[in-house]
Amino acid sequence: MIVMADKVIETIDLVAGYGKMVILHGVNFYVLRNEIVTVVGPNGSGKSTLLKAILGIAKVISGKVLYEGKDITNERLDRISRMGIGYVPQTDNVFPSLTVRENLEMGAYTIKDKDEVEKRMEEMFEIFPELRARKDQLAANLSGGERQMLAMARALMARPKALLLDEPTAALSPKYVDLVLMKVKEIRDTGVTIVLVEQNAKKGLEIADRGYVLVTGRVAYTAPAKEILSHPEIGKLYLGLKGAGA
């Protein structure tokens, strides 16, 4: 049997922004099932807006967002998440006044079966043993890296097919940057399709299959991640990389 690589999420000529302000100027993007696709580019180039436009948070002015071939353009966030797209925003992604356990329960609030919630929580503790050790602590008392892991675990409690991550390594110490990105790979290995927005272009692309370089709301370059990393000009021009393969 030939298994065709199918597009889980696709944007076609996507023009999107906030109110009258246009941020994305015709973005064509896709992620195949079980890929990690990393979106990089300078500050303000529209990386977060691309995620938000997919999720119905930023306004799509023209063009389309497809999920498993269905048109979800400007659909409501809660509907989109029920369809199977999980999202971890850059900030405010956990409830600080709730414990780790309670945060995870919140991620599965649509599941009424308590045993099922426990089962999923156990799966999360297997991927994130760091959280098991802190399950009764308040999220407010976690380190930045642990908080990002909790945010990812919370999103995964809903068993999304695709997970959109907005700069999960921002403001983390180097040790946690590597750990969080390793977890992203592990999550993909459980069968989840990943779209990763990363400031840390080199590390973000190193775990990716393909990458997109967004510049002023347009796709400046897209290629297998390895090619972007070794491109003689792209890295230097847009990503703060020192030279080919740096």
Residue 54's H or E segment, with its range, is helix 47-54
Minimum distance, C-beta of residue 25 to ligand ATP, in the bound complex (Å): 12
What minimum distance in Å lies between the beta carbon of 143 and ligand ATP?
A: 22
CA 200, chain centre distance (Å): 14
Beta bridge partners of 64: 12
Q: How far is the CB of 127 from ligand ATP (least distance, A)?
A: 26
Shortest distance in whole angstroms from residue 58 CB to ligand ATP: 7
**Which residue, 48 or 93, is less far from ligand ATP as judged by CB?**
48
How buried is 97 (Cβ within 10 angstroms: 0-12 exposed, 13-18 middle, 19+ buried)?
A: exposed
Which residue, 156, 57, 53, is CA-closest to 103?
A: 156
Nearer to ligand ATP, 18 or 109 (CB): 18
The amino acid occupying position 135 is: K
Q: Please, what sign has the CA dihedral across residues 50, 168, 101, 117?
A: positive
Query: Which run of H or of E encompasses 193?
Result: strand 193-197
Least Å distance between CB 170 and ligand ATP? 8
Contact at 8 Å (CB) between 15 and 49?
A: no
**47 vs 147, which CB is nearer to ligand ATP?**
47
User: Cβ of residue 72: shortest distance to ligand ATP, in angstroms?
Assistant: 19
DSSP structure string for 55-77: TTSSEEEEEEEEETTEE-TT--H
Give Cβ neighbours of residue 140 (< 8 Å, ≥ 6 apart): 96, 97
Give the DSSP H or E segment for 50: helix 47-54
> Which residues of the shown chain bind ligand ATP in the complex (CB under 6 A)?
18, 21, 23, 41, 43-49, 199
Cβ closer to ligand ATP: 74 or 137?
Answer: 74
Closest distance of CB 23 from ligand ATP, Å: 4
